Structure 1
Amino acid sequence: MSQSTERARALRRQQTAAEARLWRVLRGRGLNGFKFRRQWPIGGFVADLACIEAGLVVEVDEATHGRPSELRRDAERSDALARCGFEVLRIPNADVMGNLEGVRETILAALERRVHV
């Protein structure tokens, strides 16, 4: 088993409350029939949520992602995922917890844009 797969499995067991809440909306093709995978290895990274068919990765970010070191790391991840054909959509935890319907609409708009390009 690869190191990325082991890490993904561990992250599935340790998901944040925001990740769990958003996963309940997306799992089982719950968003207009789009299939999402959670904690999915892509290009040496583990994406929080990924829709392979649309080439969309949704990252649910904690407040720490505003620090310069985290912003650099996030940019490197986004670049690497883009080289694998994925667009990265970053959603703050606070938005998932406080405006789930708005987050759902944002993800759906990104999905529709990706599949109709």
Structure 2
Amino acid sequence: MKPYNKNLKQVSRDLRNNMTEAERLLWSKLRGKQILGLQFYRQKPLLNFIVGFYCPSANLVIECDGSQHYTIDGLEADRVRDEALGELGLIVLRFDNGQVLNEIDAVVEMIFDVIHVQLESPSCET
């Protein structure tokens, strides 16, 4: 199990109950082991962060980014976060909300492709 801040458990529960429209749509495609039979978790605490979606079998984090992520501060915070998650051996995929809402099939295909490569990699823990 990857390390996480236990103080984030309630916050992650609140986020699961208040997902954005883009997060709900993406979750409808990830839940129930629809992609290669793999389990995804939503609003999962990892380190001192809460990631949008997490697939431990593929060492993959998926984020749906709203407009706040495209400010100078938001981009820097995401860079720091992605670097910290990368140090745990995780790959972070980021999609903006518009991509998810308007191009969901392409988003799911990209996720599938990344997972497929990850599962073939000898460094991936399955």
- Quickly name the TM-score band, shorter chain normalised: over 0.9
5 Å-filtered alignment, 1:30-45, equals: 30-45=34-49
Unmatched segments (≥5 aa) in structure 1: none
TM-score (structure 2 length as normaliser)? 0.89
Distance 1:4 1:88 in 2: 20
Aligned to 1:97: 101
| 1:66 corresponding residue in structure 2 | 70
Any idea what SS the aligned residue of 1:53 has? Answer: helix
Question: Shift of the alpha carbon at 1:2?
Answer: 2.3
Counterpart Cα distance in 2 of 1:5 and 1:83:
22
Is 2:33 aligned against 1:29?
yes
Q: CA RMSD in A?
A: 1.2
Structure 1 runs of 4+ aligned residues shifted over 4 Å read: none
Count residues in correspondence: 117
Whole-angstrom CA distance in 2 between matches of 1:17 and 1:90: 16
1:41-64 alpha-carbon deviations (Å, 9 max, x no partner): 111111100000100000000122
Q: Structure 1: how far apart are the matches of 2:110 and 2:67?
A: 19
Q: Secondary structure at the match of 1:34?
A: coil
Deviations 1:15-68 (A, max 9, x none): 100000000110010112121000011111111000001000000001221111
Query: For 1:44 and 1:64, how far apart are their aligned partners in 2?
Result: 19
- Tell me whether 1:3 sits opposite 2:7 in the alignment: yes
Task: Name the aligned partner's letter for residue 94 of structure 1.
Answer: G
- Partner amino acid for 1:64? Q
Q: Does 1:14 align with 2:22?
A: no
Contact kept? 1:43, 1:84, Cα under 8 Å: no
Q: Percent identity?
A: 32
Q: Which structure 2 segments of 5+ residues have no match? A: 122-126
Give TM-score scaled by structure 1 length.
Answer: 0.95
